[in-house]
Structure 1
């Protein structure tokens, strides 16, 4: 019975994943307007950030849309397909759960932020 349920949900994911990715592309908002100097400062701040994500995760899509809305160039790390990123997420954050925003502070300290709403709120507070 468990195997049947597992295969059912895998099939659902296989069907829905392309639809969700196409929907993301079609509904991605335009970025906020900034001067080139302001955008350069934002881009510099974004170099300290990395988003661990799964490509077709709806919560990751939600964070990527907020990044697009705010015009953020944050490195995306696929924790589903790249074993090195998956291991880094497990080691640094303590669990393989996405989305997860890795924030490297000026003093070298790393902060791992989970939950799409928490990440979006933090991004909007920092860059909105």
Structure 2
């Protein structure tokens, strides 16, 4: 089962590389505003997780650079996810806004949030 997961993960990554979406073009001022908004976000993810790939593709479409945290290989990121969100489940978007922290787990919810905030 582990071998199948590894092989499928590699296939997902290759297909993602081959069919990478194009990012939206913004004026430099609008892109700077988007980058500032993105500083309040962190995505906890696994590299080959298909749901994480879905979220990263939307990040690419929206031309937004969100900090990526590898919850599989980085023990500190994994611990932050467990303590903050309550469970180790990816993808998880950490949103820091007005001194509050929200942990959003579902890939579809994260994609909708990114479209709303950055479209």
TM-score normalized by the length of structure 2: 0.98
Does the alignment pair 1:127 with 2:79? no
The offset of 1:16, in angstroms, is 1.3
Residue number in structure 2 paired with 1:29: 21
Q: Deviations over 1:15-42 (max 9, x none)?
A: 1111111111111111011000000000
SS at structure 2 position matched to 1:42? helix
Residue number in structure 1 paired with 2:74: 82
Measure, in 1, the Cα distance between the counterparts of 2:86 and 2:69: 16
Residue number in structure 2 paired with 1:3: none
Measure, in 1, the Cα distance between the counterparts of 2:117 and 2:43: 15
Q: Deviations over 1:65-90 (max 9, x none)?
A: 00000001000000000000000000
Does the alignment pair 1:115 with 2:106? yes
Measure, in 2, the Cα distance between the counterparts of 1:15 and 1:29: 23
The offset of 1:57, in angstroms, is 0.2
Q: Gapped runs of 5+ residues in structure 2?
A: none
Measure, in 1, the Cα distance between the counterparts of 2:31 and 2:66: 13
TM-score normalized by the length of structure 1: 0.91
Q: Gapped runs of 5+ residues in structure 1?
A: 1-8
SS at structure 2 position matched to 1:15? helix
CA RMSD, 1 decimal: 0.6
Measure, in 2, the Cα distance between the counterparts of 1:14 and 1:31: 29
**Partner of residue 95 from structure 1, selected from 79, 87, 91:** 87
Structure with the larger helix share: 1
Structure with the greater alpha carbon radius of gyration? 1
Q: How many residues align?
A: 119
The offset of 1:47, in angstroms, is 0.5
